[in-house]
């Protein structure tokens, strides 16, 4: 096509400038709501500039105008051709009581998989500590866990002052942030086709199994449950849910047997991943509070039976929440 460049520019530049103004306005104020007439005008300007780009493409000696028009069309394209459903208005209550548990159940097979992996780790850790007590140093990376259980119980139950006095809030916030980081990491490792997530959960399982068996073999089962259950009833499922998110991501990456392209598979689960990891963060905030303000107090301050019963109660409520909440609205 031969075009009269001068005439073309004289006629069209007003439309390009107008489109650029609209795009600049949108960039400065993303929340701007235009009326119908303005939207129709914006659409017209986009189509006209697109057509101009199509014409200038055939005019190989005009790269600068082409680049300029490409940048305008590229910016306008994202605004005009957004066909995916817009996010709904934020409704935290509905999200927490409906969307979060529904998403958990939608991907429950991934949850069962990570549960099996973690239980396998627990069994391995338990067997290792019972068959080879000297492996304690290798199985428990944190020095405070390596202390002899009887010695620790005697020390904890003999203290007559609040050893966390003046440090509970900072200890709690440390636990929240640390565990949330580990959870995000468990989800992100889904990008290793789930191998990294599986290794992380298995190693956590090994540590947990070793600690549990160490206390049981030392005859400190009651102390163990009173210490671990109140916060572990939420913290351990939270880590499992983070692993579930990792496996959902891995499943979308692998996409076994399906003909759906990778980009679409990943697009379909992106909202679910954010829902799961956000739910995990909330659970870990709760667990952090309980661990700092409740779990660290033992007999005689708080009887072990009370702590164990409290932990069991929380665990039952969490199970009911994840399996039942929002069920009547399931599609």
Partner 1 sequence: MNHEKTNILTIRTPEGILFSLRLSGPVNRFLAWIVDLAAIVAISTIVRSLLGIFGLISGDFAMAASILAYFVVSIGYSIVMEWRWRGQTLGKRLFNLRVMDEQGLHLRFSQIVIRNLLRFVDSLPAFYLVGGLSCLISRRAQRLGDVAANTIVVWNPAIPEPDLDQILTDKYNSFRKYPHIEARLRQRVSPQQAGIALQALLRRDELDPVARIELFTSIASHFRRIVEFPQEAIDGISDEQYVRNITDALFRTQPGLLKR
Of 205-224, which residues contact partner 1 (CB under 8 A)? none
Q: Shortest distance, CB of residue 276 to partner 1, whole angstroms? A: 11
The position carrying tokens 């047997």 is 257
**Interface with partner 1, residue 81, by CB under 8 A:** yes
Contact 284, 183 (CB under 8 A): yes
**Interface with partner 1, residue 199, by CB under 8 A:** no
User: Could you give the CA distance from residue 272 to residue 241 in angstroms, rounded to a whole number?
Assistant: 12
Give the burial string for 44-60 (b: 16+ CB within 10 Å, else e): ebbeebbebbeebeeee
Using CB under 8 A, pick the residue from 95, 97, 124, 185 that binds partner 1: 185
Q: Which stretch binds partner 1 (CB under 8 A): 62-70, 150-158, 198-206, 296-304?
A: 62-70
Q: Would you state the torsion angle of the CA atoms of residues 85, 330, 314, 274, taken in this order, to the nearest 10 degrees?
A: -20
Q: Shortest distance, CB of residue 212 to partner 1, whole angstroms? A: 28
Q: Shortest distance, CB of residue 272 to partner 1, whole angstroms? A: 9
**Interface with partner 1, residue 260, by CB under 8 A:** no
CA distances for 195 relative to 149, 206, 251, angstroms: 33, 16, 11
Q: Which stretch binds partner 1 (CB under 8 A): 109-117, 172-180, 297-305, 322-330?
A: 172-180
HSE-CB at 171 with a 13 A cutoff on CA atoms is 14
Stretch 287-326 residues interacting with partner 1 (CB under 8 A): none
Contact 303, 257 (CB under 8 A): no
Using CB under 8 A, pick the residue from 133, 141, 167, 258 that binds partner 1: 167
Stretch 22-61 residues interacting with partner 1 (CB under 8 A): 27, 30, 47, 50-51, 53-54, 57, 59-61
Q: Which stretch binds partner 1 (CB under 8 A): 8-16, 123-131, 133-141, 303-311?
A: 8-16
Q: Phi, psi (5° rounding) for residue 161?
A: -130, 160
Using CB under 8 A, pick the residue from 37, 82, 137, 160 that binds partner 1: 82
**Nearest alpha carbon to residue 136 among 58, 222, 213:** 213
**Interface with partner 1, residue 64, by CB under 8 A:** yes
Q: Is the dihedral of CA 172, 146, 182, 221 positive or negative?
A: negative
Nearer to partner 1, 171 or 321 (CB): 171
- 3-state percent helix, strand, coil for the chain, nearest multiple of 5: 80, 0, 20
Nearer to partner 1, 179 or 308 (CB): 179
Using CB under 8 A, pick the residue from 38, 94, 154, 170 that binds partner 1: 170
**Interface with partner 1, residue 189, by CB under 8 A:** yes
Stretch 240-259 residues interacting with partner 1 (CB under 8 A): 249, 253
**Interface with partner 1, residue 18, by CB under 8 A:** no
Nearer to partner 1, 8 or 321 (CB): 8
Contact 293, 162 (CB under 8 A): no
Contact 150, 156 (CB under 8 A): no
Q: Shortest distance, CB of residue 215 to partner 1, whole angstroms? A: 29
Using CB under 8 A, pick the residue from 15, 42, 45, 73 that binds partner 1: 73
**Interface with partner 1, residue 177, by CB under 8 A:** yes
Q: Would you state the torsion angle of the CA atoms of residues 275, 278, 283, 289, taken in this order, to the nearest 10 degrees?
A: -170
Helical spans, DSSP H, in 218-303:
221-254, 262-290
């Amino acid at each position: 096509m031969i075009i009269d460049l001068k005439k073309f520019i004289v006629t069209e530049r007003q439309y390009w400038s107008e489109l650029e103004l609209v795009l600049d306005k949108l960039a400065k104020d993303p929340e701007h709501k235009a009326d119908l007439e303005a939207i129709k005008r914006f659409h017209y300007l986009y189509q006209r500039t697109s057509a101009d780009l199509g014409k200038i493409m055939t005019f190989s000696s005009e790269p600068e105008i082409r680049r300029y028009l490409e940048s305008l069309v590229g910016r306008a394209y994202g605004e005009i051709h957004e066909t995916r459903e817009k996010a709904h208005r934020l409704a935290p209550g509905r999200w927490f009581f409906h969307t979060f548990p529904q998403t958990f159940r939608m991907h429950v097979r991934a949850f069962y998989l990570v549960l099996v992996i973690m239980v396998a780790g627990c069994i391995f850790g338990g067997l290792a500590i019972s068959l080879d007590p000297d492996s304690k140093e290798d199985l428990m990376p944190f020095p405070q866990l390596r202390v002899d259980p009887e010695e620790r119980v005697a020390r904890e139950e003999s203290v007559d002052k609040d050893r966390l006095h003046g440090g509970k809030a900072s200890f709690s916030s440390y636990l929240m942030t640390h565990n949330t980081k580990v959870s995000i990491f468990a989800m992100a490792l889904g990008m290793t086709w789930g191998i990294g997530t599986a290794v992380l959960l298995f190693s956590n399982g090994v540590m947990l199994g070793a600690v549990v068996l160490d206390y049981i073999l030392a005859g400190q089962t009651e102390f163990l449950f009173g210490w671990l259950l109140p916060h572990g009833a939420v913290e351990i499922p939270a880590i499992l849910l983070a692993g579930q998110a990792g496996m959902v991501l891995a499943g979308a990456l692998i996409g076994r047997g399906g003909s759906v392209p990778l980009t679409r598979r990943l697009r379909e689960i992106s909202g679910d991943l954010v829902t799961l990891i956000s739910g995990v963060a909330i659970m870990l905030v709760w667990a952090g509070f309980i661990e700092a303000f409740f779990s660290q107090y033992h007999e005689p301050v708080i009887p072990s039976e009370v702590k164990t019963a409290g932990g069991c109660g929380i665990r039952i409520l969490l199970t009911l929440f994840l399996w039942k909440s929002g069920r009547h609205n399931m599609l």
